[in-house]
Structure 1
Amino acid sequence: MAEGLRERKKQRTRQALIQAAMRLFEEKGFEETTLAEIAAEADVSTRTFFSYFAGKEDVLFYDAGARLERALARLSARRPGDTVADLLLQLIDDSIGQAIAGAGTFDAAAVRVRLVLTVPSLQARALHVLLDSQLTLAKALHEAFRDRLTLSEAGATVGALIGAIMVAVMTDVDEDRSVEEIMATVRRAGEIALAGLRALG
């Protein structure tokens, strides 16, 4: 019982830090926001902040590992009738739901997208995370569809899909679109990319 209470308290503190950081990043800018300010906004000490995150960048990518794990789990649970394109579209829909719900509000999701696409240090971190994730996903896609895709074809498939989504989202951010519009763009870009992959079955 006590263990469950402690875990819930930890999750509440973690969420408070994420939401505090997002608010401050939006109000002051990423570079201008300090760790001490984030901790104070969440009503915890700076030491407590470091119990949850190594630095400011980690707050923005707080769910990267969990999202990748969910994607891998869906790929490994492929049903016999699933096609490559259909399964990848399910991954896109899952990812949209996670992006919207993960930070608590539509506004927080929009802040994260804008920051990742406009702050150079975050762009570099995002690229590193993205490349690692794409390689891992390509290997998992190959395993799920060994009868249909070589490893290089799986890599090309994942690269085409994520590349299409990233460039489309960047155009939306440039035009200051709402997060609802951005998420619609994510799905549409995925559909366009996958239309060219349906020949793979």
Structure 2
Amino acid sequence: MFLDAAWTTISATLTYRNEGSFRYAALQQVGYENKQNIWRGRLKMAKKSQEQLPRQRIIKAARKLFDAKGFHATTTAELATEAAVSIGQIYRLFENKDDVIIALVEENTQARIAKMHAIFSAVEQDGHSVFEAIKAIAKDSIIKSDGGLSFEILAEACRNASVADRLNALVVCYRDGVRRLAALTRPDATAGELEAYVEIMMACFFGLGHRTLIAPASDVDKISHETACLLMRALGAPDQPAPPPS
């Protein structure tokens, strides 16, 4: 009877140990697979990052060189040297030099569209005034001017249909946003009046961006404020929003 009890205890212990070992091994396997998945994800992200780094360096170098020397005066060899890549790598990432300037336009487009959407959302959802929005756009136009590069892009758009298409996408989005602001300020305006307001505002914003080529803005806040006041008057609205009721 004693031996039976002892054997039962030993069997239960062995079973527990075996099951425990099995569970431990299973947990080890799960942990190993999870680690493998994590590392695969990290390797994929690292590979993607490595692929993007040369491309971003080329775009950054192009922005600098095209602005300083001009698009056509900049050679592919100079671009490769500035970006610390080989000429072959440029042609692996871009079909030709035209594709580089298209990438610049796309980068500018994405940045400007994101900025404009943030400004419009602030007006339509957060209760910010149109005056504040116009001032923000004016300020952004002055600060984020590309200088001579913008003229290089415009000139290339006249010669290259692909560049013109990308640039047109930026202008259309920009114009739609300005029209939204004008419509919020003057909901009573006719379609023709609204288009006239949009033309005036667009000319002003683009002009502010090009102004820095002639004379850098000494007081960005003051200029953007005065610009907003002027455009609000052109829209037939108060210079500044009325203070909230006390």
Give the TM-score taking structure 2 as reference length: 0.54
| Equivalent position of 1:31 in the other structure | 72
* 1:20 Cα deviation from its structure 2 partner: 1.3
Judge which range, 57-66 or 182-191, deviates more. Answer: 182-191
1:57 to 98, 101, 114: 101
Q: Distance in 2 between matches of 1:58 and 1:140?
A: 28
Indicate conservation of the 8 Å contact 1:20/1:38, yes or no.
yes
* 1:70 Cα deviation from its structure 2 partner: 3.1
* 1:114 Cα deviation from its structure 2 partner: 1.4
| Equivalent position of 2:148 in the other structure | 114
CA RMSD of aligned residues (A): 4.1
In structure 1, stretches of 5+ residues that fail to align are: 100-108
Deviations 1:16-68 (A, max 9, x none): 11221133224532212234542443214123431898624324422213321
Q: Distance in 2 between matches of 1:31 and 1:198?
A: 45
Is the alpha carbon distance of 1:155 and 1:73 closer, same or farther for their aligned partners in structure 2, counting shifts above 3 Å?
farther
Q: Distance in 2 between matches of 1:20 and 1:72?
A: 28
Deviations 1:94-138 (A, max 9, x none): 5556x2xxxxxxxxx6xx321323676246449735642343324
Q: Distance in 2 between matches of 1:182 and 1:122?
A: 32
Give the TM-score taking structure 1 as reference length: 0.64
| Equivalent position of 1:132 in the other structure | 172
Q: Distance in 2 between matches of 1:2 and 1:33?
A: 36
Is the alpha carbon distance of 1:142 and 1:183 closer, same or farther for their aligned partners in structure 2, counting shifts above 3 Å?
closer
Q: Distance in 2 between matches of 1:122 and 1:193?
A: 33
In the TM superposition, 1:122-201 aligns within 5 A as: 122=156, 124=158, 125=164, 128=168, 131-138=171-178, 140-141=180-181, 145=184, 148=187, 152=191, 155-173=195-213, 175=214, 177-178=215-216, 181=218, 187=224, 190-196=227-233, 197=235, 199=237
* 1:181 Cα deviation from its structure 2 partner: 4.6
Give the % identical residues: 22
